[in-house]
Amino acid sequence: MAQEVRGVIAPGRNQPVRIDTVLVPDPGPGEAVVAIQACGVCHTDLHYREGGITDEFPFLLGHEAAGVVESVGEGVTDVAPGDFVILNWRAVCGRCRACRRGRPWYCFDTRNAGQKMTLTDGTVLAPALGIGAFAEKTLVAAGQCTKVDPAVSPQAAGLLGCGVMAGIGAALNTGDVGRGDTVAVIGCGGVGDAAIAGARLAGAAKIIAVDIDDRKLATARTMGATHTVDSRTADPVEAIRELTDGFGADVVIEAVGRPETYKQAFYARDLAGTVVLVGVPTPDMTLELPLLDVFGRGGALKSSWYGDCLPSRDFPMLVDLHLQGRLDLDRFVSETIALDEVEKAFERMQRGDVLRSVVVL
């Protein structure tokens, strides 16, 4: 028997979101129904609503979520009803070439629920990133659920499902920041700030935050930045070099997703350093670089997918570090809101007023 729940629907390109009744089927084999407790508002939800990701309207938005497993389908053994879980949007298969080569974050056969959630008139909903968690309950593949210590608040935990994991993972997993490293982070929104928190966790000696907004630079300091650079008034490449004895940073993390900041990241790293690209560009963007610079500046240029995370390894670990007081996830929650306030939260996000608004159910 399908259950009726309230969910946030994006009905069509650039139309405001609305609350509607969603039918959530009972979980089939390999599936789970999760009662959502908190779900962060992410840029990707707005991109869905703008029609920038696919055209398969209507969408059920929301994908940075934590909640309690309500029921599981046949064959599900990793999670059980009552488990407190964080949802992930890349449940890896464990069998494809990427998985077998030990790089499961590149898995090209990720798992989602097989059944569809619908509106009451039978219209099939496309859940954002295969999750759809701006809803009282949602249907996912059981592999999208990772059990974590329920002592953490749902609003803090949910953030690990997307943006905060992307940033922390960019530093810890992709950049492999080590004790004593110098790290520069270009773009200090939720993702960049999480990269700063990750660099601090890894024991970086210097963490240089770069942004064009004073409010963001002030927050970056509270996350662990030791230096800040306002790139409206200073050349960030020069500034980072000066702060690193002329060498450039060991790890430069780009968390904007624009050609000019990609270029700054490329030139701001130490010759043997690593550039981590976590900001997502749009399809029209290109970057021209002198080949001699590409050749001459060794090091590594890496993009970071979802923080190159393994949810089953990283989500419980980061929750534990948070509970031990070594990673302050609450700092990322600017406000908690109700399900019907998502459209307003998009506006605040676009103005740069918030790091994360989190829907609490």
227 lies in the site for ligand APR, by CB under 6 A: no
Nearest to 86 by CA among 132, 46, 121, 34: 34
255 lies in the site for ligand APR, by CB under 6 A: yes
93 lies in the site for Zn ion, by CB under 5 A: yes
Site string for ligand APR, 152-181 (x = CB under 6 A): -----------x--x---------------
Choosing from 68, 201, 212, 323, the residue that interacts with ligand APR (CB under 6 A) is 212
CA distances, 168 to each of 26, 72, 110, 176 (Å): 35, 30, 22, 11
Place of tokens 């997703």: 257
52 lies in the site for ligand APR, by CB under 6 A: no
Nearest to 2 by CA among 116, 133, 144, 141: 116
279 lies in the site for ligand APR, by CB under 6 A: yes
Cβ-based neighbours of 135, under 8 Å, separated by 6 or more: 5, 6, 7, 8, 22, 24, 36, 60, 62, 339
CB nearer ligand APR, residue 61 or residue 79: 61
184 lies in the site for ligand APR, by CB under 6 A: no
> Helix, strand, coil shares of the chain as percentages rounded to 5?
30, 25, 40
Q: How far is the CB of 45 from ligand APR (least distance, A)?
A: 11
Choosing from 32, 87, 164, 186, the residue that interacts with ligand APR (CB under 6 A) is 186
Q: Which of Zn ion, ligand APR, none has residue 186 at its interface (CB below 5 to 8 Å by kind)? A: ligand APR
Residue nearest to ligand APR as judged by C-beta position: 189
Distance CA 148, CA 284 (A): 39
Distance CA 92, CA 110 (A): 5
227: annotated active-site residue: no
39: annotated active-site residue: no
Residues forming the active site: 42-44, 63-64, 93, 96, 99, 107, 111, 162, 356
